[in-house]
Structure 1
Amino acid sequence: MNRRLVLASSVAGAVLVALDGTVLTVAQPSLQRSLGASFTQVQWTSTAYLVAVASLLVFAGRLGDRYGQRRVFALGMLGFGAASAGIALAPDIGWVIGLRVAQGVCGALLQPATLGMLRLAYPPDRLAMPLAVRTSAIGLAAAAGPLLGGALVSGPGWRAVFLLGVVPALVFGAAALAGGARTEGATGPALDLPGSLLLALTLACLVHSLVASGAVRAAGLAVTAMAGAAFVRRERRATDPLVPPGVAGSAPVAAALGVLVAVSAALFGTLFVETYVLQRDLGLPPFQSALRSVPLAVLMVASAPWCPVLLRRVGARWTVGAATALLALGGLVLSRATGTAALGCGFALLGAGFGTVMVAATHVVVRQAEVTAAGVAGGLQQTALNIGPVLGVAAATALMGAGPRTALLVLAAVAVLAVPLARLLPGHGVAWLTRSAEDGVLDGDHASR
């Protein structure tokens, strides 16, 4: 397996999904006017995608483990590109929403595979750096997305936003096929379809409940609880459970996933509140508001490459704990910030903390899983990073009535909740990575086939 091609494909898939989300936000007002859609219909262009992708990520990861990561990645990329082209040509809002569902399904296929391919290609003691490169690329996409989207909407129009990812998706999807995806055979345990359906129902209801309100939210949460309980019962009895016992029963994996949910909720909830602070309270236009948050992306990109060094020297436990505290400090600074310097400092702390946590926690999730469960591990990591932001924005929306400062303080406290979880992560990096290197020979042999 060509490691450079694997890394390039992994980065391309992650960036494509990140760009799609950021540029869509900028394009939505123009899309609404062009298609004569209601505000609720436009909201569903995001909600439909979120529900589809979040509900299928773990199942898609299992598909990659059984049928080959490159094959599932290629299918996801080609489908994502085709759906993007379809949205650009859509005649009405109904087509846009339907194709966003299709795009979500394809996004669910490709996202876990971007991590699963890295786990197969790199030995455990060399996995942190490619994860850091991937995280830095996501940070760049998050920074460039709004600016690129604004330029496209102002020029060719909102349809050009969806054409942006068509060529890269087709190119990397075709490259994955040419690189051997067609020759991968079915291996590993059978698919647990009942468990997959129950988990998909649980996650779909959870995401929809969090973006809904009133009676719909209450009913959705009740269904989520019942479906979740049924899923746990099914997993305990299944011969080949959807989530292997080695992953489901791993305290470090569970802790790392909890950290990812908490920090992503705190980050995206804070960004939601700060958008209102900058534009409504401080009276800044959208472009100037976006410029104030640039330090977040810059520090996210800059901090990610340092994370592997920290993992080697102090381990995941101290790295994640310190970085999470840094992110919480950023929220505290922003709760009082009004000037440009203070705002820049707050956003920089958020970026440095989140970039480091994302690499370190993802490294724990992917590294702890066996090679045969790399896709499931990637699916769980992506699920955490999809659920967290929805939770954070829902919490921020509910807290805004108490004022932005109160909302930011509560969101900073959410980040602090992740610090105790960090105590369950692997300790000193040198000892852990030495053990990883010892069993990495076998993994390296597997990856070279």
Structure 2
Amino acid sequence: MTTRAASPMTSTQRWTLIAAVLGSAMAFLDGTVVNVALPALQRDFRASVADVSWVVNGYALMLAALILTGGALGDLYGRKRVFGAGVVVFAAASLFCGLAGTLPLLVGARLLQGLGGALLIPGSLAMLGAVFPPESRGRAVGLWSSATSVVTVLGPVAGGLLVDTLSWRPVFLINLPLAAAVLWFLRQVPESSAYQAGGVSGGVSERPRLDVPGLLLITAGLGALSAGLLDAGNGSGFRSTSLLLTLAGAALLAAFIWWEGRAAAPMLPLRLFRSPAFSGTNLLTFLLYGALGAALFFLPLDLISVQGYTAAQAGASLLPLSLLLAGLSGVFGGLADRFGPRLFLTLGPALAGVGFWLLGRMGVGGSYVGALLPAVLTLSLGMALTVAPLTSTVLGSVGEGQSGTASGVNNAVSRAAGLLAVALFTLLMLGRFGTSLQSGLARTDLPAAAQSQMMAQRSKLAQVPPPAGLGAAQTGQARQAVRRAFADGFSLVCSLSGLMALLAGVVGFFSLSGWKKAPVRAAD
């Protein structure tokens, strides 16, 4: 049997691949690079961590709520058209982010950026699928994955350098030339949709309607629940406002599930969850990516404000995570195809859980090689064991005719998990930090008035300033008490993240017993 050599790319395929890579890279970068800028944002806006967390959560909220709708819009009205609209919206929002003079304006711009990301992310792979035939599609997706991984690897380091040498604003403004390049390459990309003129693909007789009620319910539900948790952390617990928001968010999400079970064209087809493997892998995704989102939100704050790293050093410290994911995911994905995913989706999350636990043991002043690197390597290996087998299992659990929807659901689950975990863990972090700070200050020589002044600003976490008028020794004591209190709170976050990852491994073990790939069938 002879193997046919891969045919060279056509110019159309090459332009499409470049546009898809650059567009996706913008959205992926802004999901990670902003974390290293959070201490600078907190300092410049004199804001609490709960307030600044909306710079991350606003973006994640719109992605989680709208990414399924973005894919559907591309299928309906043209993938190139919707992808291009997403690039324009993303670029305009990036400009607003870079020029924002207040934190509310920045959060509003990040919400708009999330909308742009939700339009362009699903379209990148869909455009590749339209111009590459099945026999070369895998190679194209592999090139897309490798290129976006390289950009993701270098992004936090570049973002950290920009923050250190200039400010946090260029982290957003750098998207403008990238967007211009994407739009220039996009001119050479042909239009495609699931409903071409003169007929439709897949035997569908008419365009389905968008699930507008579902879209509104999930957006409002996730937003209200996150706002309620963050408001509780920013204040003094669950007061009337935070409690009302939290309960309203939970009720709206319950209404979303109810509606999706009755809608004619649901954005979240509940029938997919009849598959134990699909339900299990999405629960695993929720637990593991929630843990990852929470830990990686607080890690740069710890590295920069407690350990004394620069923003560039904080970004570079996570290079092993990106490099191991890029280098080993394909290897473990191939092994999972050969031996089955159960072992990988059990050991991978469990090993990641150990990595989270090690992160929480850094304390104050631990060295990179002795404290941080072992934790990052362990976490990286665990995630590399998990990512590719998880993706292939999600797709294989529902059959080929529903794989696109399954992938979109899993993507939305991972982003919703990070959104809710950051909100919940911010509440827990603020509680532990306040308790630990009060205890630490009581062991210092600071006057009672100075201690009270610092406790009143505890929502700033590691950036609580020592009061003016203290001597050098007392100022040092105050700063050390703040660092130790944050390290104590970060230890709690990492311990709970580790527990969530271990539970994800348990879910993988039990939900994939006797797992078999679903048969190929047409979409329902």
Q: TM-score, length-normalised on structure 1?
A: 0.80
Give 1 or 2: higher helix fraction.
Answer: 1
Q: How does 1:26-175 map to 2 (within 5 A)?
A: 26-27=36-37, 43-90=53-100, 95-117=105-127, 139-173=149-183, 175=185
2:349 and 2:504 in contact (8 A); partners too: yes
1:446 is aligned to none
Q: Work out the CA distance in 2 between the residues paired with 1:259 and 1:244.
A: 19
Deviations 1:39-78 (A, max 9, x none): 5765544443333332222222332343344432222123
Q: CA deviation at 1:80?
A: 1.0
2:191 to 157, 166, 181: 181
SS of aligned partner of 2:511? coil
Identity %: 28
Q: Work out the CA distance in 2 between the residues paired with 1:307 and 1:8.
A: 27
| Alignment RMSD | 3.9
Q: Work out the CA distance in 2 between the residues paired with 1:376 and 1:321.
A: 25
Q: CA deviation at 1:121?
A: 6.8
Deviations 1:313-337 (A, max 9, x none): 1222222222112212222333445
2:33 is aligned to 23
1:354 to 366, 378, 383: 383
Q: Work out the CA distance in 2 between the residues paired with 1:6 and 1:118.
A: 7
2:406 is aligned to 377
Greater CA drift, 222-231 or 364-373 = 364-373
Q: TM-score, length-normalised on structure 2?
A: 0.70
Task: Tell which has more relative contact order, 1 or 2 (C-alpha 8 A, sep 6+).
Answer: 1
2:511 to 408, 413, 424: 424
Are residues 1:411 and 2:497 paired?
yes
1:112 and 1:378 in contact (8 A); partners too: no
AA of the residue aligned to 1:200: T
2:393 is aligned to 364
Q: How does 1:431-446 map to 2 (within 5 A)?
A: 432=517
Seen in structure 2, the aligned counterparts of structure 1 residues 51 and 284 have a Cα distance that, compared at 3 Å, is: closer
Q: Work out the CA distance in 2 between the residues paired with 1:98 and 1:152.
A: 23
Q: Work out the CA distance in 1 between the residues paired with 2:387 and 2:121.
A: 15
SS of aligned partner of 1:201? helix
Q: Work out the CA distance in 1 between the residues paired with 2:384 and 2:140.
A: 14
Task: State the structure with more CA Rg.
Answer: 2
2:60 and 2:114 in contact (8 A); partners too: yes
Greater CA drift, 224-233 or 247-256 = 247-256
2:361 and 2:491 in contact (8 A); partners too: yes
Seen in structure 2, the aligned counterparts of structure 1 residues 308 and 183 have a Cα distance that, compared at 3 Å, is: closer
2:471 is aligned to none
Q: Work out the CA distance in 2 between the residues paired with 1:126 and 1:329.
A: 39
Q: CA deviation at 1:350?
A: 0.9
2:354 is aligned to 329
Greater CA drift, 283-292 or 265-274 = 283-292
Seen in structure 2, the aligned counterparts of structure 1 residues 174 and 185 have a Cα distance that, compared at 3 Å, is: farther
Q: Work out the CA distance in 1 between the residues paired with 2:100 and 2:294.
A: 32
Seen in structure 2, the aligned counterparts of structure 1 residues 283 and 235 have a Cα distance that, compared at 3 Å, is: closer
1:266 is aligned to 291
Seen in structure 2, the aligned counterparts of structure 1 residues 256 and 131 have a Cα distance that, compared at 3 Å, is: farther
2:228 to 194, 209, 224: 209
AA of the residue aligned to 1:98: G
Greater CA drift, 40-49 or 199-208 = 40-49
2:38 and 2:301 in contact (8 A); partners too: no
Q: CA deviation at 1:288?
A: 4.4
Q: Work out the CA distance in 2 between the residues paired with 1:251 and 1:173.
A: 42
1:447 is aligned to none
Deviations 1:292-326 (A, max 9, x none): 43322222222222133123212222222221122
2:86 and 2:119 in contact (8 A); partners too: yes
Q: CA deviation at 1:225?
A: 2.4
1:240 is aligned to 265
1:14 and 1:114 in contact (8 A); partners too: yes
1:119 and 1:371 in contact (8 A); partners too: no
In the alignment of these two chains, the number of paired residues is 435
Q: Work out the CA distance in 2 between the residues paired with 1:244 and 1:405.
A: 38
2:28 and 2:152 in contact (8 A); partners too: yes
AA of the residue aligned to 2:262: R
Seen in structure 2, the aligned counterparts of structure 1 residues 414 and 292 have a Cα distance that, compared at 3 Å, is: same
Q: CA deviation at 1:389?
A: 2.3
In structure 1, the gaps of 5 or more residues are 444-449
Seen in structure 2, the aligned counterparts of structure 1 residues 412 and 93 have a Cα distance that, compared at 3 Å, is: closer
Seen in structure 2, the aligned counterparts of structure 1 residues 421 and 287 have a Cα distance that, compared at 3 Å, is: same
AA of the residue aligned to 2:214: G
Q: Work out the CA distance in 1 between the residues paired with 2:170 and 2:194.
A: 35
Q: Work out the CA distance in 2 between the residues paired with 1:393 and 1:336.
A: 20
SS of aligned partner of 2:25? helix
